[in-house]
């Protein structure tokens, strides 16, 4: 897996933080050292690694504890924030717009993965509805045209090229004009990268830039370079305002953290990462997501996806009824069962970044037990009661208690739980209706009091 080395050492740091009884100065010191070590192992620059470790320590020792969270949660969050900072803070979109032919120029040293990435990007964009044309403007390497042409055929994207034309700029311009006439929205120009060092690469990039006026120039950097990526990325960042970076080959290297943090340090935004040789092995670069994955804090997107999947399981009538504000005890039961089906509440919670460690086991235990108890109680209830057609008054409560062998208190706890779930569901439904299907919201999870999820 990508960043597995960094992930392994950092998640063991996190486990250490979770496991110990007290969070004291000694533990924070240890945490600092472990973070420093893990970053160095990922080939992050010494000064950067040191600064991150220092900041984690300083902040952990001096920041006041915000209300409602534990010291542990606070420190996890500090680690998360500091790592996200060196990894680039936020995702950046490509500079492409509807209503114009967008020109993207790919540059980079030979072997960095330009041609592969050009095809991957074409695939990614055409999947997202853009009409893409590729220009094979590498006039240097024999077979460069065929390489791109084959890739283009695989993904159904047209490639313009001319193996006889030796002037790269002329060729690139012809290709660009050809695709503009074809009304393509995105034209990606793959160039030669015969240079072994930055200065000549930058010189050629400037020339191409002047002649072709691209909307975006993408520097393709080989991730196996680790922190040595800094030289290329910084020369590039200085030379162009419209530049961004794609770091490739992160699947096969332990130095990915170094390559990423080095690029980020130059101020050039990383937009995608290459994570394999196959055409689909390109990911939007999202530092927050990456860092939660590295830290073993789980993946919020995955969680939302699972929640969505589970919601599809709900029958249509049921969903409609709930939309109208009708949420019965049976619905609550269904929902709790769904949560269990998704792999247990514990797994679900472990996918919420920063959440897994904060909740203690007794809480999880309690909710599982209450699910069992609710089932027993409901088995002694009539259909009318389960469908919410009658109010469950005191005499009914007493009858149910006798029938199921639980106390009146248990029944009231369940009813209270039901009222809370109903409120949460209503709020959630209102929000997701407003946001449209697939709205990014986590529904209240029955079994937890409101406020259990900060």
Ligand X SMILES: Nc1nc2c(ncn2[C@@H]2O[C@H](COP(=O)(O)OP(=O)(O)O)[C@@H](O)[C@H]2O)c(=O)[nH]1
Could you list the residues that contact Mg ion (CB under 5 A)?
A: 114-115
* The total number of residues written for the chain in this structure: 454
With CB under 6 A as the contact rule, which of the stretches 23-31, 83-91, 113-121, 160-168 interacts with ligand X?
Answer: 113-121
| Residue from the set 27, 32, 74, 114 that interacts with ligand X by CB under 6 A | 114
Residue nearer to Mg ion on the CB measure, 114 or 288: 114
The phi, psi pair for 108, rounded to 5°, reads 155, 160
Q: Which residues pair with 218 in a beta bridge?
A: 106, 244
Query: Which stretch in 103-111, 160-168, 260-268, 298-306 sits in contact with ligand X by CB under 6 A?
Result: 103-111
Q: Is 284 in the site for ligand X (CB under 6 A)?
A: no
Nearest-CB residue for ligand X: 274
Contact predicate 132/182, CB 8 Å: no
Nearer to Mg ion, 108 or 257 (CB): 108
- Which one among 146, 277, 280, 384 touches ligand X, defined by CB under 6 A? 277
CB of 88 to ligand X, least distance (A): 18
CB 131 within 8 A of CB 143: no
383-399 burial, b for 16+ CB within 10 Å, e for fewer?
A: eebbebeeebeeebbee
By CB under 6 A, residue 275 contacts ligand X: yes
- Among 18, 37, 91, 111, the residue binding ligand X under the rule CB under 6 A is 111
Contacts of 327 (CB under 8 A, 6+ apart): 321, 421, 422, 425, 426
By CB under 6 A, residue 152 contacts ligand X? no
Contacts of residue 284, Cβ cutoff 8 Å, sequence gap at least 6? 91, 271, 272
Q: Which residue is nearest to Mg ion (CB)?
A: 115
Instruction: Select from ligand X, Mg ion, none the partner in contact with residue 421, using the beta carbon and a kind-dependent cut-off of 5 to 8 Å.
Output: none
Residue 249: contacted member of ligand X, Mg ion, none (CB under 5 to 8 Å, by partner type): ligand X
Q: Which tokens is 219 given? A: 């520097």
Taking CB under 6 A as the rule, does residue 133 contact ligand X? no
What span, in angstroms and rounded, lies between the C-alpha atoms of 339 and 348? 8
**119 alpha-carbon distance from chain centroid:** 23
**Interaction between residue 161 and ligand X (CB under 6 A):** no
d(C-alpha 104, C-alpha 113), whole Å: 16
- Structural element, H or E, at residue 186: strand 186-191
Interface positions, 235-254, toward ligand X (CB under 6 A): 248-249, 251-252
* Closer to ligand X by Cβ: residue 218 or 425: 218
Binding interface with ligand X (CB under 6 A): 108, 110-116, 193, 248-249, 251-252, 274-277, 281
């Amino acid at each position: 897996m990508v960043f597995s080395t960094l992930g392994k050492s950092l998640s063991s740091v996190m486990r250490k933080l979770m496991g110990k009884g007290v969070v004291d100065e000694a533990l924070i010191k240890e945490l600092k050292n472990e973070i420093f070590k893990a970053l160095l192992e990922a080939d992050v620059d010494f000064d950067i690694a040191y600064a991150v470790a220092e900041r984690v320590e300083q902040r952990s020792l001096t920041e006041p504890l915000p209300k409602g969270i534990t010291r542990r949660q606070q420190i996890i969050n500090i680690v998360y924030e500091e790592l996200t900072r060196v990894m680039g803070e936020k995702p950046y979109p490509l500079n492409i717009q509807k209503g114009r032919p967008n020109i993207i120029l790919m540059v980079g040293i030979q072997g960095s993965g330009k041609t592969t990435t050009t095809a991957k990007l074409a695939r990614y964009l055409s999947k997202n509805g853009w009409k893409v044309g590729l220009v094979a403007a590498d006039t240097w390497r024999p077979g460069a045209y065929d390489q791109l042409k084959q890739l283009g055929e695989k993904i159904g994207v047209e490639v313009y090229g001319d193996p006889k034309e030796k002037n790269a700029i002329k060729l690139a311009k012809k290709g660009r004009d050809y695709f503009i006439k074809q009304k393509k929205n995105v034209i990606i120009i793959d160039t030669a990268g015969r240079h072994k060092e930055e200065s000549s690469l930058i010189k050629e990039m400037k020339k191409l830039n002047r002649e072709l006026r691209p909307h975006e120039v993408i520097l393709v950097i080989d991730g196996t370079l680790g922190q040595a990526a800094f030289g290329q990325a910084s020369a590039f960042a200085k030379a162009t305002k419209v530049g961004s970076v794609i770091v490739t080959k992160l699947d096969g290297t332990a130095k990915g953290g170094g390559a990423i943090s080095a690029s980020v340090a130059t101020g050039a935004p990383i937009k995608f990462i290459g994570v394999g040789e196959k055409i689909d092995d390109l990911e939007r670069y999202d530092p927050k997501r990456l860092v939660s994955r590295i830290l073993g804090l789980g993946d919020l997107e995955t969680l939302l996806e699972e929640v969505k999947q589970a919601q599809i399981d709900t029958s249509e009538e049921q969903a409609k009824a709930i939309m109208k504000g009708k949420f019965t005890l049976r619905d609550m039961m269904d929902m709790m069962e769904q949560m269990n089906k998704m792999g247990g509440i514990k797994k679900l919670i472990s996918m919420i970044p920063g959440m897994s460690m904060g909740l203690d086991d007794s809480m999880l235990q309690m909710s599982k037990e209450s699910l069992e108890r609710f089932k027993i109680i409901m088995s002694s209830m009539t259909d009318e009661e389960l469908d919410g057609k009658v109010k469950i008054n005191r005499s009914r409560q007493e009858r149910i208690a006798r029938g199921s062998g639980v106390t009146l208190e248990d029944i009231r706890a369940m009813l209270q739980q039901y009222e809370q779930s109903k409120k949460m569901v209503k709020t959630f439904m209102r929000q997701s209706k407003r946001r449209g299907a697939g709205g990014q919201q986590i529904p209240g999870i029955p079994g937890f009091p409101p406020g259990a999820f900060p």
